[in-house]
Amino acid sequence: MAKSEVHPGHKFEQWQVWPGSYDNPPADGLYSFPEQTGLAISPETPIASMGSCFAREIRKSLIKKGYAYILEEVEHPASVHASAAWERTYNTFAMRQIFEYTFASFAPDIRWWTAPVSGKIQDPYRRIILYDSILAAEKDFRHHLVCSRRALKSARVLILTLGLTEIWEDTKDGAVICLPSGPYVKEGGSMERYRFRVSRYTENLQNLERIHALMSQQNPECQLLITVSPVHLWATFRQDLDVISASCNSKSTLRAAADEFVSRHENVYYFPAFEMATIYRMLMGQTYFAEGKENFHVNRETVAFIMKHFYRFYSVRKP
């Protein structure tokens, strides 16, 4: 009788084999990764970033370490999450709209929301940015355009952190609002134009390609580093799925889109922050979830672990 060889004798590098399987070393705190990443960052490299909540952690670490992190609109509270007052951008649609209003055109039918009771002017496309008047809103946005363009044009590395796939879309012109929140929504502003839906792989990939095309035109020397945020959904608007399943679907979809996006472009790279938190830390017997009411976030130890590897992989000044 012929014998079937279950495990043929292929030769793999350590980073190609699951940690701790057979005779491969277990997870020991040093995430195994190909030695040549293709991306080199020095403390003098101008770096910009935008994205979901985890993007804020990357920003804080780079600034603390003394890297040339690009800071625009420092007086604006919405700039604490990114290189300019883009606020938090949870989905690739919101990201794409930033690049379009910065370098091309973005002219939605409804540009500002007016709260029915307080009269506050709200930017639907940046998370709860408020003004006292349309005049003040338009003046600030003109300044924001200058700063946004300067940040993206001067970056030599741009980090994009992908968060989720759930969106609220204008049914008339396709513009995607940030979230149905803020005084406009709380005070009963009409949401009839908007519909909730789950975006899919192809359109998220198309958004990333649109970003790449605009950056290639406006700043061809810039390299893109893509991450998937390890911060899970706090809640889902879906009626057909629980929040844990909805979060996994978001992350899986974005991870697949990121993989295809990276494979298409020589100047695009992927940093496995999501994998380090959700798998590698667990292999070491360490939780990555924060404690308390925001336990869907990652804890401080995990943030430090991820950023240690960021510098280990990419920095020419090793930690």
Q: pLDDT by residue (tens digit) across 140-196?
A: 999 999 999 999 999 999 999 999 999 999 999 999 999 999 999 999 999 999 999
Spatial distance between the Cα atoms of 319 and 301, rounded to a whole number of angstroms: 16
Spatial distance between the Cα atoms of 297 and 295, rounded to a whole number of angstroms: 5
| pLDDT at residue number 1 | 57
113 band by pLDDT with thresholds 50, 70 and 90: very high
pLDDT tens sequence across 192-232: 999 999 999 999 999 999 999 999 999 999 999 999 999 99
Spatial distance between the Cα atoms of 177 and 184, rounded to a whole number of angstroms: 12
- Three state DSSP letters for 176-196: EECCCCHHHHHCCCCCCCEEE
DSSP 25-75: PPP-SS----S--S--B-TTS-EEEEESHHHHHHHHHHHHTT--B----TT
Torsion of CA 122, 76, 251, 310, to 10 degrees: 170
| pLDDT at residue number 46 | 98
Q: Angle at the Cα of 50 (from 46 to 54), degrees rounded to 5?
A: 110
| pLDDT at residue number 9 | 74
| pLDDT at residue number 7 | 67
Residue with tokens 């500002």, as numbered in its chain: 112
Is the pLDDT at 95 greater than 60? The verdict is yes
- How are beta strands 47-51 and 157-162 bridged, if at all? parallel
292 band by pLDDT with thresholds 50, 70 and 90: very high
- Which whole number is the average pLDDT over 17-27? 92
- Which whole number is the average pLDDT over 30-57? 92
| pLDDT at residue number 23 | 87
pLDDT tens sequence across 267-278: 999 999 999 999
152 and 44 in contact (C-beta within 8 Å)?
no
Mean pLDDT score of the chain: 94
| pLDDT at residue number 308 | 96
Task: State CA 122 to chain mean position distance.
Answer: 23
Spatial distance between the Cα atoms of 199 and 149, rounded to a whole number of angstroms: 27
| pLDDT at residue number 53 | 83
Regarding pTM above 0.85, the answer is yes
2 band by pLDDT with thresholds 50, 70 and 90: low
DSSP 185-254: HHTT---TTEEEEE--HHHHHHHHHHHHHHHHHH-TT-EEEEEE--PPPS----SSS-HHHHHHHHHHHH
| pLDDT at residue number 8 | 67
Region 40-105+137-165+200-314: CATH code: 3.40.50.1110
Q: In the chain, where are the structural domains located? A: 40-105+137-165+200-314
Is the pLDDT at 134 greater than 90? The verdict is yes
| pLDDT at residue number 10 | 79
Structure tokens, 207: 């958004």
36 band by pLDDT with thresholds 50, 70 and 90: confident
| pLDDT at residue number 4 | 60
